Amino acid sequence: MPDFLLFLATSIAITVAPGPDNLQVLARGISQGRAAGFVAALGFAAGITFHTTLAALGVAALLRSSPTAFTAIKLAGAAYLIWIGIKALRSQGLATAHERAPQPLMAVFRQSVLGNLLNPKVTLFFVVFLPQFVQPNGTQSVTLQMLELGVLFMLQTVVVFSLFGVCAGMVGGYLKRRPRVGVWLDRLAGATFIAIGIRVALRD
């Protein structure tokens, strides 16, 4: 994987940027403690396997049927990444994470998995993001490459979200005292999205 470090750095920037999933992990950790935050992190990360599988099978089938269509989806994906990057740059910062009533850890895990599975935007994101790092003419199949990328994304999500959940009290308090931090995290993610989108659009 020639772009391994770029993919990992981009994935971490995307995962750290404020969003519904990591805000919910923070909220769980703040309201129920470190264990709940950690379990919520595992739940959201587990849901990624579903979206990765859908994206891998769909893109691989598209490549087999039409290499031209594969190129088209990569260009469309580049445009989409640039668009969401611009949205992130224009963001005004973090939304407030509402606390929830304490629940059993299994319920926290189940709700986190379902919350991730039922979000079609996540599948769309993986469909346009993962192919940017795939080598269509490589020694490995496109399906295998995308599954490997998905597993790597999931693993770094587990690490980042777990840190959020375990350190929820400290992180949540810091973000509340410094709301501008959320704005700069959004800008970091936005710049990352735009850079990847431009790179893909200009690559042969």
C-alpha to C-alpha distance for 112 and 115, rounded to whole angstroms: 5
Q: How many CB atoms lie within 10 A of CB 128?
A: 22
Residue 153 token pair: 């994304």
* Per-position b or e across 177-203, b if 16+ CB within 10 A of its CB: eeeebbbebbbbbbebbbebbeebeee
Q: Which domain holds residue 181?
A: 4-202
Total number of domains in the chain: 1
Say what the pLDDT of residue 26 is.
77
Say what the pLDDT of residue 159 is.
92
Say what the pLDDT of residue 99 is.
45
Say what the pLDDT of residue 3 is.
76
C-alpha to C-alpha distance for 44 and 66, rounded to whole angstroms: 33
Q: pTM to 2 decimals?
A: 0.66
Residue 132 DSSP label:
G
Distances, alpha carbon 75 to alpha carbons 7, 72, 194, 200, in Å: 18, 5, 13, 7
**pLDDT tens string for the chain (204 positions)?**
667 888 888 888 888 876 767 777 877 777 777 888 889 899 988 888 888 887 777 766 666 666 676 677 667 767 776 876 787 677 655 444 444 556 788 988 988 888 777 766 677 778 777 877 888 777 788 788 888 888 899 899 999 988 888 887 666 666 666 666 666 766 776 777 687 678 767 765
Say what the pLDDT of residue 92 is.
59
